[in-house]
Amino acid sequence: MKNIVNAVHAADNFVYLSYEGVGTMRKLITYILAAAALAAAGFVIYSEMRPEPSNGSEALEAYLENQGIERDLPAGEETVSHESIDETGVQPGMQAPDFTLETIEGEAFQLSELRGDYVLVNMWATWCGPCKDEMPDFAQFYEEYKEEGVNVVGVNMTSTETGLTPVEQFVDDFSLPFTNVLDKEGEIESLYEVYAMPSTYLITPDGRVAMNRPGLINYDVLVETYEEVRENNEAS
């Protein structure tokens, strides 16, 4: 009889534990479903917050399609030329297209007014991760070489931005010491055939495009390219 009683108690305990296990499992499943729902909601919010291509921006479309990963870019030797081509365009060797835009402070700026100086023109946007990575290098380069007659001009792809506030915040956050202008209509993006973000152009004192480099660039490459172009320009 004692054995029978013990067996009954054991059966009761098993049923109780099984019930508790089911309750725990239900709770676990509920937590998992809730976490999945939150993740899905976060993805939807993130997707809605991502900037949509404006005015057919090829650079922004490429950036979003590749999830921020740059496309294959040309080799270094394909981005620099010491030749002179009697045409206007952005191919290395050609005369750089002139443009007039408004600075972030609201003043008029014309590229051709910097004739006689070396000019680095950098196309950037607040949504571009590599732009943020390289911006301190441009600030450093400008501070190091401005006494040699070197200018840096940042061109914000304003037509792809959500507004001017993030652009102004970007300039303030990086304490950019050089001129920044606003491409509100996307005209410079088209004129300079910007297909990757960022993109950088080195223009010689006579207005020739010596470098057309799409994609991320760093301080060492800026210095190396500038000094190479300057040395070749002075020797010719």
Q: Give me the pLDDT at residue 13, please.
A: 47
Picking from 218, 186, 203, the residue whose alpha carbon sits closest to that of residue 92 is 203
Q: Splitting the chain (236 residues) into consecutive groups of 10 residues, what average pLDDT does each group show?
A: 45 44 53 53 37 52 51 62 93 97 97 97 97 97 96 97 96 97 95 94 97 95 96 89
Q: How many of the other CB atoms lie within 10 Å of CB of 154? A: 26
Q: In the numeric block, which tokens belong to residue 134?
A: 């390289």
Q: Token pair 């950019």 is at which residue? A: 176
Q: Token pair 């060797």 is at which residue? A: 93
Q: Is the omega angle on the peptide bond into residue 198 within 30 degrees of 0, that is, cis?
A: yes
Q: Give me the pLDDT at residue 201, please.
A: 98
Q: Give me the pLDDT at residue 236, please.
A: 78
For residue 122, the SS3 value is strand
Q: Give me the pLDDT at residue 33, please.
A: 58
